Amino acid sequence: MSEPLIKNIKHATVHQMENLIDYKQGKVASLTLSQKKTVGMTLFAIDKGEGLNTHSAAGDAFAQILEGVVEITIADELFTLSAGQTIVMPANIPHALKAIEPFKFLLTVVKPELTKLE
């Protein structure tokens, strides 16, 4: 049997996504579900006041908020999101996240396919 494409989660089982990861006081907790050349999936639990500093990614980053409240800055624009909302942080554009309340989210990063040099 080959290695599963999605890991750290039991397959063929119904899950409540936000229950797959716990908060860690004063920290950012993460659980990698998949990390491939063109797609990555990571579940995060971020305590109040914590976050991810300004950075950019090589692919579009799709954030699905599962619980709590977060401020997300994309370039110079500020967005406040809560459970049930999503946003796409475009590839190569600086963005940052800060927990207004403890929050959990699923991050899916879709990267461009690599092309062979001709």
Q: What is the mean pLDDT of each run of 10 residues along the chain (118 residues)?
A: 88 96 97 95 98 96 98 98 98 98 98 71
Which pLDDT value is given to residue 118? 46
**55 in a structural domain:** yes
| Structural domain for 78, as ranges | 31-110
d(CA 110, CA 50): 25
**45 in a structural domain:** yes
**68 in a structural domain:** yes
Domain count, the chain: 1
**25 in a structural domain:** no
**22 in a structural domain:** no
Which pLDDT value is given to residue 2? 77
Residue 64's CATH number = 2.60.120.10
d(CA 68, CA 21): 14
**87 in a structural domain:** yes
Cβ neighbors of 71 (< 8 A, separation 6 or more) are 78, 79, 80, 97, 98, 100
